[in-house]
Amino acid sequence: MSSIRNDYKKMVFYQIWVRSFCDGNGDGIGDLYGVYDKLGYIKSLGVDAIWLCPVYPSPNADYGYDISDYKNIHPDFGTLDQFRKVLDKTHELGMKLIMDLVVNHTSDEHPWFLESRKGKDNPYSDYYIWRDKPNNWESLFEGKAWEYDETRGQYYLHIFSKKQPDLNMDNPRVREEVKSIMRFWLDMGVDGFREDVINFISKKEGLPDGIPFVPAVNGIFNYKDGPHIHEYLSEFRKVCEEYDCIQIGEGPLTTVKTALMYITGKHKSLDMMFSFDHMMADCLFTEYIHRPFSLKKLKHAFSKWQYSINGKGWNTLYLENHDHPRVISRYGSERFRRESGTMLAASYIFQQGTVFIYQGQEIGMTNIRLRDIEDYKDISSKTNFHKYHLKDTIEARLRRIHLSSRDSSRTPMQWSSARYAGFSSVRPWFNVNPNYKRVNVAKDEKDPNSILNFYRRCVALKKMSRTLTYGQYREFFPDSEQIYIYERTLGKQRWLIICSFAKHPVRVHFPREYAGKKNQLILCNYRETDKNDLCFRPYEARIYRFPAGDEKSQLTD
């Protein structure tokens, strides 16, 4: 058996948001029976590991990120037995599986909270953060970050929704609980964790007021990367060191500087972190504060993380997940869906780092447009709609939601052109994107030039080449508003990845040191390409190899 700790740098992950992936038992909700059925499909992408978004019991105030029992499976998704079956088959297929670890907060329906709210003498009293008087922090999801609890006669802190009270990680008993949760899943055989908002778990002592500079995040500097964060994470790290597993941190607004503190050096307590910078090429802080897409911003974010982490730690690479709208609708073009979907794949997969693909991204799913705010499910979309830009027309506000809602990545996976996109035999829990007849797995399987098959080719190529996996990254022409060019080099091996973000043809130049050099065009998202004609068609992407010149030089180097 391969070791995830040794191999994660060359692995490709597939992220599953189970509720919308595949309904295996015909109740309209995606589940672990559906995941089981589709493991072969996932494997066929060339994927090495799966990240399962939370599958634990949850009242779904935040769709699984509000957990009411950490050591069980949500009945909507199946049973612990079914989970074991998924895990075993994943392993049989030679893949790994990591879970979502959500320990900044629980659900308010978690037994710990039900006890804690009973009173100050309760054994669980200090499991959460209680105060007689709230500070000025605002929650990221709804209103003030404090909610008054009648029974206890105090306020509790919730950085996310009211139904997600923050755990008091300063309490050693809470940390023991976290370790016990980790062991529970690791003992069962899971291969690691994606750790949710892990940079929020240690709050500044005394919980001082924040600076009210941007609504909703005014307290962030008092709870992000807090004073005991390394201490707590190193306790969790010790548990992981007893197993063959990895830890990937998610931290909103993480800068590359702080990421390096978590993934390198004496405080190293995570293997990788997710960057948020490249998710802000068309917005400020959140997708809700929309700006026109800027390729320069995107490239700057990509390169910053590539240069800063190279040689010190290891990057994660992603363009989509369950928290962001679909990338074609943001950085590409729905009109040039196939072209921009394939180009975007090449733009990130060949960078240095571990690749993540989010369900539906590989077939170019796009944002959904719903008519009424009531049709949306996501709590943050609803809050944004009701809280901001109230002077705008309803249409304008809905347009913002259409551009920004997390729900766009949570519509049912489009498997075929059958009713309900082949996701379920009955009406699904959430709207299917009406484009499913054009955009689905079955259709893409049949078309050698589909987005799906291009993803397969990119994944296969990346995994084949040591240079594309471990090589150095360098960007050229950072000021171009149309073209993204980067190289990957290892020893004498050189690859050049050229992506056009333009809707019209553009003439491209090789960087000076590549001009006139012998090259091979290894991959392109258009058919019939003359490798020497550098006029790029809309959203064209090409991957060139510049062989080292000696006869021993192989594609695999």
**Which residues participate in catalysis according to the annotation?**
196, 250
Task: Return the residues of window 87-106 that contact ligand GLC according to CB under 6 A.
Answer: 102
Binding status of residue 323 toward ligand GLC by CB under 6 A:
yes
Strands laid side by side in the 472-476 sheet: 472-476, 483-490, 493-500, 541-546, 520-524
How near is the Cβ of 184 to Ca ion at its closest, in Å? 24
Looking at the Cβ atoms of 137 and 420, the one nearer to Ca ion is 420
Backbone angles phi, psi at 58, to 5 degrees: -160, 140
Classify residue 165 by its DSSP letter. P
For residues 406 and 403, what is the distance between their CA atoms, to the nearest angstrom? 9
196 binds, among Ca ion, ligand GLC, none (CB under 5 to 8 A by kind): ligand GLC
Q: How many CA atoms lie within 13 A of 455 on its CB side?
A: 29
Task: Return the residues of window 242-261 that contact ligand GLC according to CB under 6 A.
Answer: 250, 252
Binding status of residue 65 toward ligand GLC by CB under 6 A:
yes
CA end-to-end span of the chain, whole Å? 24
Q: How many CA atoms lie within 13 A of 82 on its CB side?
A: 19
Q: Which of 31, 149, 320, 540 binds Ca ion (CB under 5 A)?
A: 31
Token pair listed for 6: 């040794």
Binding-site size for ligand GLC (CB under 6 A) equals 10
How near is the Cβ of 263 to ligand GLC at its closest, in Å? 18
Is the distance from CB of 432 to CB of 349 less than 8 angstroms? no
Binding status of residue 25 toward Ca ion by CB under 5 A:
yes
- Residues 199-238, one symbol each (x = binds ligand GLC by CB under 6 A, - = not), give ----------------------------------------
How near is the Cβ of 251 to ligand GLC at its closest, in Å? 9
User: Which residues are CB-contacts of 442 (< 8 A; sequence separation ≥ 6)?
Assistant: 415, 416, 417, 422
Task: Return the residues of window 489-518 that contact ligand GLC according to CB under 6 A.
Answer: none
Looking at the Cβ atoms of 83 and 160, the one nearer to ligand GLC is 160
65 binds, among Ca ion, ligand GLC, none (CB under 5 to 8 A by kind): ligand GLC
How near is the Cβ of 425 to Ca ion at its closest, in Å? 10
The residue of the chain with the least Cβ separation from ligand GLC equals 65
Looking at the Cβ atoms of 226 and 538, the one nearer to ligand GLC is 226
Binding status of residue 484 toward ligand GLC by CB under 6 A:
no
102 binds, among ligand GLC, Ca ion, none (CB under 5 to 8 A by kind): ligand GLC
Binding status of residue 62 toward ligand GLC by CB under 6 A:
yes
Quick count: other Cβ atoms within 10 Å of Cβ 291?
Answer: 12
Looking at the Cβ atoms of 254 and 340, the one nearer to ligand GLC is 254
For residues 68 and 112, what is the distance between their CA atoms, to the nearest angstrom? 9
29 binds, among Ca ion, ligand GLC, none (CB under 5 to 8 A by kind): Ca ion
Binding status of residue 27 toward Ca ion by CB under 5 A:
yes
Alpha helices for 332-436 (secondary structure H): 337-349, 379-387, 394-404
Looking at the Cβ atoms of 31 and 225, the one nearer to Ca ion is 31
Looking at the Cβ atoms of 158 and 299, the one nearer to ligand GLC is 158
Is the distance from CB of 492 to CB of 557 less than 8 angstroms? no
Binding status of residue 196 toward ligand GLC by CB under 6 A:
yes
Looking at the Cβ atoms of 138 and 475, the one nearer to ligand GLC is 138
How near is the Cβ of 135 to ligand GLC at its closest, in Å? 20
Classify residue 364 by its DSSP letter. T
Task: Return the residues of window 340-399 that contact Ca ion according to CB under 5 A.
Answer: none
Q: Which of 18, 29, 248, 398 binds Ca ion (CB under 5 A)?
A: 29
Token pair listed for 227: 């004073």
User: Which residues are CB-contacts of 430 (< 8 A; sequence separation ≥ 6)?
Assistant: 19, 20, 377, 407, 410, 411, 412
Task: Return the residues of window 163-192 that contact ligand GLC according to CB under 6 A.
Answer: none
How near is the Cβ of 322 to ligand GLC at its closest, in Å? 6
Looking at the Cβ atoms of 31 and 147, the one nearer to Ca ion is 31
**Amino acid (1-letter code) at residue 145:** A
Token pair listed for 256: 């590359």
DSSP 270-311: -SEE---GGGGSSEESEEEEE----HHHHHHHHHHHHHHHTT
Is the distance from CB of 524 to CB of 543 less than 8 angstroms? yes
How near is the Cβ of 518 to ligand GLC at its closest, in Å? 46
Cα–chain center distance at 385: 23
Cα–chain center distance at 511: 32
| H or E element at residue 330 | helix 327-331
Shortest CA distance to 406 belongs to which of 378, 444, 426, 446? 378
25 binds, among Ca ion, ligand GLC, none (CB under 5 to 8 A by kind): Ca ion
Q: How many residues does the chain have?
A: 557
Looking at the Cβ atoms of 275 and 480, the one nearer to ligand GLC is 275
Question: What is the binding site for Ca ion (CB under 5 A)?
Answer: 23, 25, 27, 29, 31
Residues that bind ligand GLC in the complex, under the rule CB under 6 A:
62, 65, 102, 160, 196-197, 250, 252, 322-323
